[in-house]
Structure 1
């Protein structure tokens, strides 16, 4: 069995807006949503800027009990799930719940709540032995990442396979890739899938400060994230979530669903080389791209747009450029490439799903989002990185990629609905 899989519902919570429309409006306008951190006093840190989401759980319809027990990242995922389910117009009550599954990605899971609870129990780190009398009754919910997809399953009434995927910054791509495989093999008919992360906390900030992966351009937050630019000096940490309803193509067609895109190929590789280092030749990412294209049964020249990882670190952008040249050949110089992290920052495990949303919307609207803040391209990044302004053009096939600590490299191909069976 090798069934076709399509996206019929999308929900997004990202910096600069709430919901799919505001997200897409921000991208196509080339606006940036990075700013000085407001969640806590960031003055002690090297990097003091982030992509924060203006999220109000009560306005999202979450009850006081849901708000109490859920970590911020889980709230994001549930809110996005509800948006995606409504967008799909799928009658979930008429589906066997055992045929509906969940695959959720996250890099740091409930890190925000865990840090907050530690601060309370240790009296802000004063006490080496923490006081269990101050233990939250919901600590288990924060310690167990599996609670997050369970909450999504409860929100959607899904009683089929429920999985948590956590492999760093490719989690958002890999969770969706796994969901696609479950539908293709017949283990599920519908999947709720995507990723969520809310890593803007002192401990996460300190970790990236230590390895100087984030930018210290604190005096200019709006222009601090500048992938592929010669002056880039690290990424901007962010938070966010994107969730999707995936269905078997024939069923979606039969019910007259709006189909954003078909997911025709996916692959992931690991370089088994270094926790944070990348080889200059981009071989592992190129291998993932090639396998995803082969699975889609398409030639590299049919790719209309590449949604890059584009984190804004010197190492990643050069590695990725090499991977595109290695996998796409001469077409790498002709196809538009862009990084939406220039506008919404890098939300770790969530960003892969947010970029899938951007890719599907690029197909729907025939618009390539820009790379904001790209004024002086790095000579070693010599491809068409769509600087500053969105570009209207026909977009039938999108390649979206991700790269993560641990050596993970993932690639996915999305195509306009209605094409021939691959």
Structure 2
């Protein structure tokens, strides 16, 4: 018998909406959380805007020692974990610890602290040979990405499999896929899974600036992220996190848990083509979608909503539009598609999990989030991208996709428990 995986707890920290409730209110209102970078002086950069979180670790309940020890991304992950655990209602101490695991995704891990420490060690970059006398006692925590999922494991007392998944911008989807595999195969009954990234640092901003991936629309930050719009010219960098409590279905049913959605199919493919380039036919993403649908045992016509990667770059928007047509056929033209990156930006490895939170809430509330700032659709992007305004409709089955540097293409199917074909 196949073991099924469901979401029973959600924790979110996203730009403009700390907590799942505020996050959902932001999305359904069509508001954007993009602004001029405030964490440092962005003036030297071509792109000077981002989607920042108004995150206060002390207000979030972290102790002074936790704040000193953990990088900002790890802080996000731990706070979201606490929210997801509380939301799930699961008494973790009543679950054998070896049956609890953690799967965390991140693209740049502790980039915030690593850059800050380098600036101290090199005296602001003036010294070529750094001075170890100024080395932080917590440098290992920043250098080793595995420390982040370990922090989450300590938070919930997990003694089962604990892993970091880091494959760029699909990390948030792929960490959930890994967690689902562990539950499905019987290794665990409960997984805390998701992703966190806090990449708004001078070095990361400069790196994306150098390849002109981010938008230079500095005079209008609120409307800078424009997925599928003919005037788009790059994505808006962001930070954020989303963590989930995932359970084996019968484990959740036995305790009468509230279920947001079932994760019924996951797949990832690589294009083996180019570090940043994408083929125009969308074949690799379409293949990931096909496999995810097959694993979910559903037909393409069962998809009620597509949560797009929708980064706001021309090659990506056209690539995934082609992938939707290739995998869903004529049904692609009848299916609403939207990109929440238009409102909360692109938080690299975290965004896939943040988008899954949006998908679960879309199923929960029967609302499709809009694509903000979409006034003039690209003629080559000719699907229903839900422009500007959220749409109320029953949502039973959602397809969420991700695309990342290196050629990664991932897809995930979420379904309402008890909905069509469940």
Q: TM-score range by the shorter chain?
A: over 0.9
Q: Post-superposition, which runs of at least 4 consecutive aligned residues in structure 1 deviate over 4 A?
A: 419-422
Partner in structure 2 of residue 129 of structure 1: 129
Q: Deviation digits for residues 325-345 of structure 1, max 9, x if unmatched? A: 000000000000000000000
Partner in structure 2 of residue 86 of structure 1: 86
Partner in structure 1 of residue 415 of structure 2: 415
Correspondences of 1:283-302 after superposition (within 5 Å): 283-302=283-302
Give distance in 2, aligned partners of 1:414 and 1:340.
Answer: 17
1:178 and 2:196 equivalent? no
Give distance in 2, aligned partners of 1:44 and 1:165.
Answer: 33
Partner in structure 2 of residue 62 of structure 1: 62
CA apart distance, 1:421: 7.6
Correspondences of 1:174-213 after superposition (within 5 Å): 174-213=174-213
Correspondences of 1:333-372 after superposition (within 5 Å): 333-372=333-372
Give distance in 2, aligned partners of 1:243 and 1:418.
Answer: 24
Give distance in 2, aligned partners of 1:400 and 1:90.
Answer: 26
TM-score, length of structure 1 as denominator length: 0.99
Q: Is the 8 A contact 2:35 2:50 kept in 1?
A: yes
Give distance in 1, aligned partners of 2:255 and 2:32.
Answer: 38
CA apart distance, 1:2: 2.3
Correspondences of 1:34-183 after superposition (within 5 Å): 34-183=34-183
Partner in structure 2 of residue 281 of structure 1: 281
Give distance in 2, aligned partners of 1:121 and 1:412.
Answer: 43
Partner in structure 1 of residue 406 of structure 2: 406
Q: Is the 8 A contact 2:396 2:420 kept in 1?
A: no
Partner SS, residue 253 of structure 1: helix
Give distance in 2, aligned partners of 1:58 and 1:421.
Answer: 45
1:310 and 2:310 equivalent? yes
Give distance in 2, aligned partners of 1:420 and 1:157.
Answer: 36
Q: Is the 8 A contact 2:366 2:394 kept in 1?
A: yes
Q: Is the 8 A contact 2:288 2:411 kept in 1?
A: yes
Partner in structure 2 of residue 381 of structure 1: 381
Q: Deviation digits for residues 68-122 of structure 1, max 9, x if unmatched? A: 0100000000000000000000011111011000000000000110000000000
Q: Is the 8 A contact 2:286 2:327 kept in 1?
A: yes
CA apart distance, 1:419: 4.5
Q: Is the 8 A contact 2:104 2:164 kept in 1?
A: yes
Partner SS, residue 104 of structure 1: strand
Partner SS, residue 288 of structure 2: helix
Partner in structure 2 of residue 214 of structure 1: 214
Correspondences of 1:315-334 after superposition (within 5 Å): 315-334=315-334
TM-score, length of structure 2 as denominator length: 0.99
Q: Is the 8 A contact 2:122 2:128 kept in 1?
A: yes
Give distance in 1, aligned partners of 2:124 and 2:348.
Answer: 26
Partner SS, residue 413 of structure 1: strand
Partner SS, residue 382 of structure 2: coil
Partner SS, residue 177 of structure 1: helix
CA apart distance, 1:242: 0.1
CA apart distance, 1:254: 1.6
Correspondences of 1:225-304 after superposition (within 5 Å): 225-304=225-304
Give distance in 2, aligned partners of 1:418 and 1:107.
Answer: 35
Give distance in 2, aligned partners of 1:48 and 1:379.
Answer: 29
Q: Over the residues paired in the alignment, what is the CA RMSD in angstroms? A: 0.8
CA apart distance, 1:417: 1.0
Give distance in 2, aligned partners of 1:197 and 1:251.
Answer: 30
Give distance in 2, aligned partners of 1:48 and 1:73.
Answer: 21
Give distance in 1, aligned partners of 2:177 and 2:220.
Answer: 36
Query: Runs of 5+ in structure 1 lacking a partner?
Result: none
Give distance in 2, aligned partners of 1:157 and 1:19.
Answer: 23
Query: Runs of 5+ in structure 2 lacking a partner?
Result: none
